[in-house]
Chains A and B, each alone.
Chain A
Amino acid sequence: AQKVTQAQTEISVVEKEDVTLDCVYETRDTTYYLFWYKQPPSGELVFLIRRNSFDEQNEISGRYSWNFQKSTSSFNFTITASQVVDSAVYFCALRAFSRTGTASKLTFGTGTRLQVTL
């Protein structure tokens, strides 16, 4: 069974602060994919990043960075110099690799609501 835990239900920061959203996952698969999605108040799921289990390199995209550590089964997401527009719910998700090529679902965490204020 797969599980994704986002222990932080809600985080509130003041604009320009850095913030890290935690994600811990469980899977028996040796090959898998991890995702982060942003869900703004409008409700759609905005894809942020996909990382496969063989690639532990940290990634930076503008103000966003991701720290993947297999040893601790964590895939944390940091926003540097947060802005009000970053206010949203952020979901971490896990997808197993399918050797048979069949469809494989995403297992989502419960999400972290980030509130950035002026």
Chain B
Amino acid sequence: EPEVTQTPSHQVTQMGQEVILRCVPISNHLYFYWYRQILGQKVEFLVSFYNNEISEKSEIFDDQFSVERPDGSNFTLKIRSTKLEDSAMYFCASSGVGTNYGYTFGSGTRLTVV
């Protein structure tokens, strides 16, 4: 069964550093997403991406965040200058054309900012 792959599974970074979280969505999916889950809390939408541009973003997704699809397979989330409160699990997801297609999550990257 096709999977969404996220790397790394765990990243520790110092406050103020830039991090890039990587995702390989399912190959025939066209819509890509990032979600965040602070420890013990609910999963929150960050951003959706389609046709090489952001479709929607939440208020969490401020200027410190950016997304990119640098090639035909990767989808990245960059946090420019990490803060302690950015520590969370970050999930990538992808979906196909039309809402009948599956919505598949990756296994997540646990980001720890120290």
Q: Does A105 contact B (CB under 8 A)?
A: yes
Interface size on B, residues (CB 8 A): 29
Task: State the CA gap A91–B35 with chains docked (Å).
Answer: 14
Interface residues of A in 53-72 (CB under 8 A from B): none
List chain A residues, Cβ under 8 A from B43.
Answer: 45, 91, 93, 106, 108
A105–B33 contact, CB under 8 A?
yes
Interface residues of B in 66-114 (CB under 8 A from A): 89, 91, 93, 95, 97-100, 102-105, 107-108, 110
List chain B residues, Cβ under 8 A from A44.
Answer: 105, 107-108
B99–A107 contact, CB under 8 A?
no
Interface size on A, residues (CB 8 A): 25
Q: Does B55 contact A (CB under 8 A)?
A: yes
List chain B residues, Cβ under 8 A from A102.
Answer: 31, 48, 50, 55-56
A45–B105 contact, CB under 8 A?
yes
Interface residues of B in 38-71 (CB under 8 A from A): 41-45, 48-50, 55-56
A110–B41 contact, CB under 8 A?
yes
Among B41, B48, B103, B105, which residue has its beta carbon within 8 angstroms of that of A50? B103
Decide: A43 near B110, CB < 8 A? Known: A101-B97, A102-B50, A106-B45.
yes
Secondary structure of the B contact surface, majority rule: strand
Task: State the CA gap A44–B35 with chains docked (Å).
Answer: 12
Decide: A103 near B44, CB < 8 A? Known: A43-B89, A47-B105.
no
List chain A residues, Cβ under 8 A from B98.
Answer: 101
Shortest distance in angstroms between A101's beta carbon and chain B's nearest beta carbon? 7
Task: State the CA gap A101–B110 with chains docked (Å).
Answer: 31
A97–B99 contact, CB under 8 A?
yes
Among A35, A91, A105, A111, which residue has its beta carbon within 8 angstroms of that of B45? A105
Task: State the CA gap A108–B32 with chains docked (Å).
Answer: 17
Among B45, B55, B103, which residue has its beta carbon within 8 angstroms of that of A107? B45
Task: State the CA gap A109–B91 with chains docked (Å).
Answer: 16
Chain A, residues 80-118, CB within 8 Å of chain B (1/0): the string is 000000000001010101100111111111110000000
- A: which residues have CB within 8 A of B? 33, 35, 37, 43-45, 47, 50, 52, 91, 93, 95, 97-98, 101-111
